[in-house]
């Protein structure tokens, strides 16, 4: 999806690799980098989105508006960051609602020392 224009707070579906085998599984991720960077680099900085029943991680932020994000089960944004080439993005699923964006910014402002 090299021609896809992504912006901060878009939810995308990406192939996540397993560490113990040569396979991957489709998982949602949250775009953190801005549209200008994403367009110029054809990469985006992403955060992991995981199901809410996983073990806790500092800075986990539950997604309240699942429909807006294009998700069907309870999930949270997790502060596990990575960059990904846009050619590997499977599709855009949705975007975080304004209330979820505000909650995420607040939670991560307390975590990140920048």
Confidence of residue 25 (pLDDT cuts 50, 70, 90): confident
Fold of 10-111: SH3 type barrels. (2.30.30)
Cβ proximity of 93 and 69 under 8 Å: yes
> Which residues are registered as beta bridge partners of 14?
27
Interval 41-94: pLDDT, tens: 999 999 999 987 778 888 899 999 999 999 999 999 998 899 999 999 999 999
Residue 39's DSSP bridge partners are none
Domain definitions of the chain by residue range: 10-111
The answer to whether 28 touches 66, Cβ cutoff 8 Å, is: no
């Amino acid at each position: 999806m090299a021609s896809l224009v992504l912006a901060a707070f878009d939810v995308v579906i990406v192939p996540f690799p397993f560490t113990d085998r040569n396979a991957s599984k489709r998982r949602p991720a949250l775009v953190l980098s801005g549209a200008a960077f994403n367009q110029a680099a054809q990469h985006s900085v992403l955060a992991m989105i995981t199901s809410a029943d996983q073990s806790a991680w500092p800075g986990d932020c539950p997604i309240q508006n699942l429909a807006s994000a294009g998700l069907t089960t309870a999930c949270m944004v997790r502060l596990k960051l990575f960059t990904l080439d846009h050619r590997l993005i499977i599709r855009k699923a949705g975007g975080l609602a304004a209330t979820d964006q505000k909650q995420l910014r607040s939670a991560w402002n307390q975590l990140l020392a920048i």
